[in-house]
Amino acid sequence: MAIFEHEVVVVGAGGAGLMAARYASEGADVAVLSKLHPLRSHTGAAQGGICAALGNEEEDHWIWHAFDTVKGSDYLGDQDAIVIMCQDAPRTIIELEHDGVPFSRTPDGKIAQRPFGGHTRNFGEAPVRRACYAADRTGHVILHTLYEQCLKRKVRFYNEFQVLDLLINPDGEVAGVVAYEIRTGEIHTFRARAVVLATGGYGRVYKTTSNAHANTGDGFAIALRAGIPLEDMEFVQFHPTGMYRLGILITEGARGEGGVLRNRLGERFMERYAPTVKDLAPRDVISRCIYQEIREGRGIDGKDYVYLDLTHLSLKQIETKLPEIATFSKIYLGIDPSREPIPVAPTCHYAMGGIPTDPDGRVYRAVRLLEGRDGNYQDEQGRWVTPRFELEYVPGLYAAGEVACVSVHGANRLGTNSLLDLVVFGRRVGKAIVQQLEREGRRLPALPDDPERRARQTLEAILSRSEGESVAQVRADLQQMMMDNVSVFRTAETLQQARQAIAEIRNRAERVRIDDHGRQFNTDLMEAWELLSLVDVAESIIHSAEARTESRGAHSREDYPKRDDARWLKHTLFYRYPDGSVELRYRPVTILPAEQYPFFQPKERKY
C-alpha cells in the first residue's frame, strides 16, 4: 500500500479524461487512473462521427446545430451549455485535425461531413451534413490521437488501477481517491487537489447494450456514495439499430449514408412517422417507431426486429464509408450488408443523465432556489421563465464525458454530440482546473481518517464469503429485469415492479460469492464490486423514472404519453443516503431569453 500524490487525478482514460488531462497538464502535475488500458476505453468504439457546423459540404451555422440539440433534448437541455458546445465545435474539430486525427476528406481535401439523426438545416427544414468522421472508426482515431498528446505532455498513467472511492474530507473538499491495483491486489490512496471523474457510461445495467463490458457505471456509484446526487437518470438512450439479439451497434452513419429501415412488408416505415427527416429522426423517436411496428405485427417474420437495408448503396460506399460495420455484420451475423438487409432492434446505448456539473465541469451537490419554484414557468406573455438558483459546489471535484450531466443532451442526445461533448467539456475542465490551482494554490487538502476503510471492508466482505450466488447470475437477473421494466416504454406498474425487484437484487448482490480468492488480477473481485455499482445506477434510474409522470425524450411513459411542461420542465436530482433511503429533488432548466433565442422556446417536437 502506498500514498501517491499528484495535483490532479483524472479517473478514466476515454476521450473526456484524456482531454481534461491534456489541458490540465499545461499548468499542473496530472495523473490518469484507468481500470483499462487507455486505448481500450469505450470511446475507441465510437463509429459514426463528431459534429460541428463547419459547413464543408453545404451551408451550416452553429445556431442551427444548437436549435437541433435543444429540440433533440426535448427542451430539457440547459441552453447556455448547448450554446457553448455548438459555438465551440468548429474550433474543436480543427484542433483535433491539427493534433493528428485523420478525418475522411471531401474531393477538394476538406474534412468530410455526413448527415446524422436530428441534425437539420435552417431550423428543421431538412437533414444537413454536419457529422465529421473517419470512415466508421471516428472514436478510435480520436482516442489514439489524444493518448499520444497526453504522452507527449508527460501525463502520468496508472493503467489497470480501478478506483473504488472518492475522498471528501470533513471540510467538504475533495482530497483524492482510493484505487485497487489490479495487477497486485493492493489498495492505494491517491491524494490530489482536484479530481476529475470521467469514467464513461453504464450500458451494462441492461441486457441488450452496445456498450463494452467495462461500462458498469462505476463513477455514477462512486459519486452517489460520496453524497453527490445524480441528475436526470430516467433518461436512458436506446439506439434504434443494434444487431438483433447481440446489441452490437450499427452506426447511425449507415442511415446517414442512405440506409433505410424496413418492416415485414418491405415498407420504409419511417416515412409515415417523420415525413421530413424520415430515417434520420432522433433516436428516441425511431426506437419507439420500431417497437410500434413490432407491436402491430410488422416485425420481420412477426418477430421483435426490423431490417436495416443498405443493399441499394454502392459497394464502394460501403467499403470506404462503413468498412467496420460491414465486417461486424459478416463476423457476427454472417450477413454481407451489400447483398442482404441487417436484422436490428433497439439497444441500450447512452446515459443522458449523470453527475451534475456546470459548463466548466464543476460538480455540485445541492441547488439553492432563490425563488420558490424548482421548475420553469410561463409569464403573462407565455414566455418561459427560469427561476433563479445557486449551486453548492464540491470544491476540487469535476466530471466530464458520459458520466457527467452538463446538461447538453437533456432527455435525448443527438448522434455525434457525445464525442463533441467529451472534447469541448473535457478541455474546459482541464482549463478550469489550471485556473483553480492558480487562484487557490496547490496545497493538497487533508485526507479524511482511514481513507481506505470503506474500500477495504467492501472487498474483504466479498473475499470472506464461501457461499452465495455467482456474480454472473445476479447480474443477468438485474439486466433482464431492467430490460423488461425500464427500457423504451415504461408504466407505473413496470416501474413499481422494478422498484421492488431492485431491493431484492441489492440484497443478493451484497451476498455474492467469488471463486478466485487470490490477489493478482482478481477480476472476479472487481466484477463483484462492479455489480454493486450497477445496482446503485439501476436504482437511481428506477426512482427517477417512477416519479416523472410525463413522456419526454427517451423517457416514454405509456400511462402519461404527453410531455407536461407545466409540471415537469425541470431536472431531477436523485440522492441516496448511507441508511439506504433515497430522495428526489429538482432544479429548473436554463432557458435563454425568448427575445434573443426565439427558436429555443419549448414547443411540440415534430420531425
Ligand X SMILES: Cc1cc2nc3c(=O)[nH]c(=O)nc-3n(C[C@H](O)[C@H](O)[C@H](O)COP(=O)(O)OP(=O)(O)OC[C@H]3O[C@@H](n4cnc5c(N)ncnc54)[C@H](O)[C@@H]3O)c2cc1C
* Beta carbon nearer to ligand X, 38 or 299: 38
Question: Which residues, at least 6 apart from 360, have a Cβ–Cβ distance to it below 8 Å?
Answer: 398, 428, 429, 431, 432
Question: Which residues, at least 6 apart from 514, have a Cβ–Cβ distance to it below 8 Å?
Answer: 462, 463, 465, 470, 471, 522, 524, 525, 527, 528
Say which of 137, 193, 255, 283 is annotated catalytic: 283
Under the binding rule (CB under 6 A), the answer on residue 198 touching ligand X is yes
Name residues contacting ligand X, limited to 28-47 (CB under 6 A): 33-36, 38, 41-43, 45-47
Number of Cα atoms under 13 Å in the Cβ half of residue 351: 34
Among 69, 189, 210, 485, binds ligand X (CB under 6 A): 210
Strand-pairing partners, residue 129, are 115
Reference 198, options 358, 409, 353, 9; nearest CA is 9
Binding mask of the shown chain, residues 235 to 254, with x at each position contacting ligand X by CB under 6 A: --------------x-x---
- Distance from C-alpha of 486 to C-alpha of 493, rounded to nearest angstrom: 11
Name residues contacting ligand X, limited to 312-371 (CB under 6 A): 350
- Distance from C-alpha of 142 to C-alpha of 126, rounded to nearest angstrom: 29
* Beta carbon nearer to ligand X, 293 or 421: 421
Q: Which stretch binds ligand X (CB under 6 A): 339-347, 380-388, 416-424, 482-490?
A: 416-424
Is residue 283 part of the annotated active site? The answer reads yes
Reference 351, options 222, 226, 217, 153; nearest CA is 217
User: What do you get for the CA distance between the two ends of the chain, in Å?
Assistant: 57
Q: Which helix (H) or strand (E) holds 523?
A: helix 523-547
Residue type, 381: Q
Number of Cα atoms under 13 Å in the Cβ half of residue 270: 26
Strand-pairing partners, residue 404, are 355
Minimum distance, C-beta of residue 99 to ligand X, in the bound complex (Å) = 16
Under the binding rule (CB under 6 A), the answer on residue 218 touching ligand X is yes
* Grid cell at residue 469: 450466488
* Beta carbon nearer to ligand X, 255 or 570: 255
Binding mask of the shown chain, residues 444 to 483, with x at each position contacting ligand X by CB under 6 A: ----------------------------------------
- Distance from C-alpha of 479 to C-alpha of 469, rounded to nearest angstrom: 16
Among 115, 118, 200, 259, binds ligand X (CB under 6 A): 200
Number of Cα atoms under 13 Å in the Cβ half of residue 292: 13
Among 401, 410, 451, 588, binds ligand X (CB under 6 A): 401
* Beta carbon nearer to ligand X, 425 or 560: 425
Among 4, 7, 15, 235, binds ligand X (CB under 6 A): 15
Q: Which stretch binds ligand X (CB under 6 A): 119-127, 209-217, 288-296, 313-321?
A: 209-217
Name residues contacting ligand X, limited to 87-146 (CB under 6 A): 138-139
Minimum distance, C-beta of residue 73 to ligand X, in the bound complex (Å) = 15
Interface ranges with ligand X (CB under 6 A) = 11-17, 33-36, 38, 41-43, 45-50, 138-139, 162-163, 198-201, 210-211, 214-215, 218-219, 249, 251, 350, 401-403, 416-419, 422
Q: Which of the residues are catalytic?
A: 283
